[in-house]
Amino acid sequence: MTKPKLIVVDDDPGMAKLVKAAGESSGFDVLITTSAREFQKTWAENTSSVIVMDIVIPEMDGVELLMWLAEQNCSAPIILISGYGGKYLEMTKTLATDKKVKIVGTLTKPFKIDDLEKMLKEALPSSDRKGLAAPL
């Protein structure tokens, strides 16, 4: 059985590795990108099951990237993360939802790995959850 694919976009290599480890322990095949442009290229070349996106990234911010995903008719569920948190995350979620981009949750850095793993599992349709590892 093919593993679901997770694409991570975060310019902080340490955070990207942390999200990758959580994704892999949850049963995903994970690709890391560190900029919006790199993400766009990776997204175009790979069908992703879930996206984890920092909303403060180089080249274009997460809001611009979410608008680009809306133009691409992206159907992958997205988890937004940010060190800014609170109202900034909620505003971004509202804008994306208004454009029909599926936001399944938000996390403020630093966050609990258990919370991320729970969101990753919940982001997939129940048919794709079979065989995923249980959160640590």
Domain architecture of the chain: domains with CATH: 5-123 (3.40.50.2300)
Side-chain half-sphere exposure of 56, counting CA atoms within 13 A: 10
**Encoding tokens for residue 51?**
């996206």
Which neighbouring-strand residues pair with 33? 9
Q: How many angstroms separate the CA atoms of 60 and 115, rounded?
A: 27
**The whole model's pTM is what?**
0.90
Local confidence band at 136 (pLDDT 50, 70, 90 cut-offs): very low
pLDDT single digits (tens) 75-102: 999 999 999 878 889 999 999 999 999 9
pLDDT single digits (tens) 29-62: 999 999 999 999 999 999 889 999 999 998 888 8
